[in-house]
């Protein structure tokens, strides 16, 4: 079959890598892809949010299955457009993608179906929002309602900080229309983890556990990023907790959305806060996590293609996935200055030496080719992902790869996976 993957980051490189191993695949395209993806798939110069052009391409090439990586095309309705044209596509439709596209939508859904999460209020009026903050006190969390590329959340330790956040979002409109509405949430303490499940709108197929590292610096310090590294499995998610998460969060979410006339199909990303052995929802996303996809897909033994196809068709009967016994750890190598401004176009050295290491994958995220050389072209540049018989061995493997790759200003965390070792 012919498959098109939409996107061009580390998550999509991992998806392309995994899909390319399926005996069911004859031709694999990726739009727009990146230099790493180009080794495995034919890259098509169409942006992930150019829905008309993607649809034309898929119709002309008779694509059998399209797999959407990022959230933006999902919230723009790429799935609705492809389905209307009779094409199979993996991901939620526009109505269901609101679970990520609108924080108020997801909080209202959780309230309606008694899904454990932080208490909240939602506001379109600045003064009402400020009054709520003063009433609740700090610490408190302020969130722009819409998509803000992972930057629309302010975890405020004081009331003043929260009010300043409201003014940034609602008055200065730093996130544009995404900030016309805000959600204000109770601060949750605990350890974060990510939980993923494939679904066709009715049936659920959970993935192995994983954990991201959101802050830029070691020991979870500094500003939030898209994610600086991830590992799987995550021991904080015990088997009992995973069953609990499915029963109290994933199942009621999927059933609730179906009952509300907006069934969710694709992969559901549940961002969790875990405290005292109980999990509460921090956020839902409508897609695979990045970088969580890198370690998860390296560990996945089952062919992913039949699963993606079954979700797209509403025929998910498979009830479990096979996983390699090994642990996987992904260390993100980022541009100097990220998550703020950074310089692009700097040549990356050591890629060949890293790629020669066994059980190691260098997934490209923000890279480009300049004069036939690979250069940095985004904040998160590479996801160096290693397998090992234990998390400790996988950490050593990933950092062995990181050690041989460099470019001016490169930054990465030195403590990816350490949390798992403490357990």
Query: Is residue 283 a contact residue for ligand AMP (CB under 6 A)?
Result: yes
Task: Please say which residue, 13 or 143, places its beta carbon nearer to ligand AMP.
Answer: 143
40, 41, 141, 236: which one binds ligand AMP (CB under 6 A): 141
32, 116, 256, 271: which one binds ligand AMP (CB under 6 A): 271
Least distance CB 368 / ligand GLY (angstroms): 21
Least distance CB 253 / ligand GLY (angstroms): 17
Residues 192-221 that bind ligand AMP (CB under 6 A): 192, 214
Query: Is residue 187 a contact residue for ligand AMP (CB under 6 A)?
Result: yes
Q: What mask, x for binding ligand AMP by CB under 6 A, covers residues 29 to 48?
A: --------------------
Q: What is the contact surface with ligand GLY in residues (CB under 6 A)? A: 150, 212, 226-227, 285, 289-290, 292
Task: Please say which residue, 81 or 213, places its beta carbon nearer to ligand GLY.
Answer: 213
Query: Is residue 155 a contact residue for ligand AMP (CB under 6 A)?
Result: yes
Taking CB atoms, the residue at the shortest distance from ligand AMP is 283
Alpha-carbon distances of 48 from 3, 51, 70, 75, 260, rounded to whole Å:
15, 7, 8, 12, 29
Task: Please say which residue, 110 or 147, places its beta carbon nearer to ligand GLY.
Answer: 147
362 binds, among ligand AMP, ligand GLY, none (CB under 5 to 8 A by kind): none
> Under a CB-based contact definition with an 8 Å cutoff, are residues 394 and 386 in contact?
yes
Query: Is residue 115 a contact residue for ligand AMP (CB under 6 A)?
Result: no
| Interface region with ligand AMP, contact rule CB under 6 A, candidates 69-77, 179-187, 328-336, 390-398 | 179-187
359 binds, among ligand GLY, ligand AMP, none (CB under 5 to 8 A by kind): none
Size of the site for ligand AMP (CB under 6 A): 16
End-to-end CA distance of the chain: 43
Task: Please say which residue, 132 or 338, places its beta carbon nearer to ligand GLY.
Answer: 338
Least distance CB 31 / ligand AMP (angstroms): 26
Q: Which residues would be at the binding site for ligand AMP (CB under 6 A)? A: 118, 141, 143, 150, 153, 155, 185-188, 192, 214, 224, 271, 282-283
């Amino acid at each position: 079959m012919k498959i098109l993957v939409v996107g061009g980051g580390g998550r999509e490189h991992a998806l392309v890598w995994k899909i390319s191993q399926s005996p069911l695949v004859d031709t694999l395209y990726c739009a727009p892809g990146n230099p790493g993806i180009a080794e495995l798939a034919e890259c098509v110069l169409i942006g992930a949010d150019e829905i008309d052009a993607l649809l034309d391409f898929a119709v002309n090439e008779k694509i059998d299955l399209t797999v959407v990586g990022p959230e933006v095309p999902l919230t723009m309705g790429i799935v609705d457009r492809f389905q209307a044209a009779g094409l199979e596509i993996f991901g939620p439709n526009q109505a269901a993608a609101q679970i990520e596209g609108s924080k108020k939508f997801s909080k209202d859904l959780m309230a309606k179906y008694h899904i454990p999460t932080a208490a909240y209020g939602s506001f379109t009026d600045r003064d009402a929002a400020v009054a709520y903050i003063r009433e609740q006190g700090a610490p408190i969390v302020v969130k722009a309602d819409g998509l803000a590329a992972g930057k629309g959340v302010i975890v405020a330790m004081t009331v003043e900080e929260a009010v300043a956040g409201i003014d940034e979002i609602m008055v200065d409109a730093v996130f544009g229309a995404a900030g016309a509405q805000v959600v204000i949430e109770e601060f949750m303490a605990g350890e974060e983890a990510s939980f993923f499940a494939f679904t066709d709108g009715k049936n659920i197929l959970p993935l192995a556990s994983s954990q991201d590292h959101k802050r830029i610096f070691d020991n979870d310090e500094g500003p939030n990023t898209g994610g600086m590294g991830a590992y799987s499995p995550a021991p904080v998610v015990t088997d009992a907790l995973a069953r609990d998460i499915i029963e109290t969060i994933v199942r009621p979410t999927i059933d609730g959305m179906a009952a509300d006339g907006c069934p969710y199909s694709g992969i559901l990303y549940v961002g969790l806060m875990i405290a005292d052995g109980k999990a509460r929802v921090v956020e839902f996303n409508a897609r695979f996590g990045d970088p969580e996809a890198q370690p998860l897909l390296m560990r996945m033994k089952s062919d992913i293609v039949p699963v993606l196809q079954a979700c797209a068709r509403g025929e998910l009967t498979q009830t479990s996935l096979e996983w390699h016994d090994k642990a996987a750890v992904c260390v993100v190598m980022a541009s100097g200055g990220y998550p703020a401004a950074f310089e692009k176009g700097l040549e990356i050295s050591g890629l060949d030496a890293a790629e020669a290491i066994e059980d190691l994958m260098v997934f490209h995220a923000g890279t480009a080719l300049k004069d036939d050389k690979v250069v940095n072209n985004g904040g998160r540049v590479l996801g160096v992902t290693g397998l090992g018989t234990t998390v400790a061995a996988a950490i050593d493997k990933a950092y062995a790869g990181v050690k041989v790759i460099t470019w001016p200003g490169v930054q990465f965390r030195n403590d990816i996976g350490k949390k798992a070792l403490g357990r």
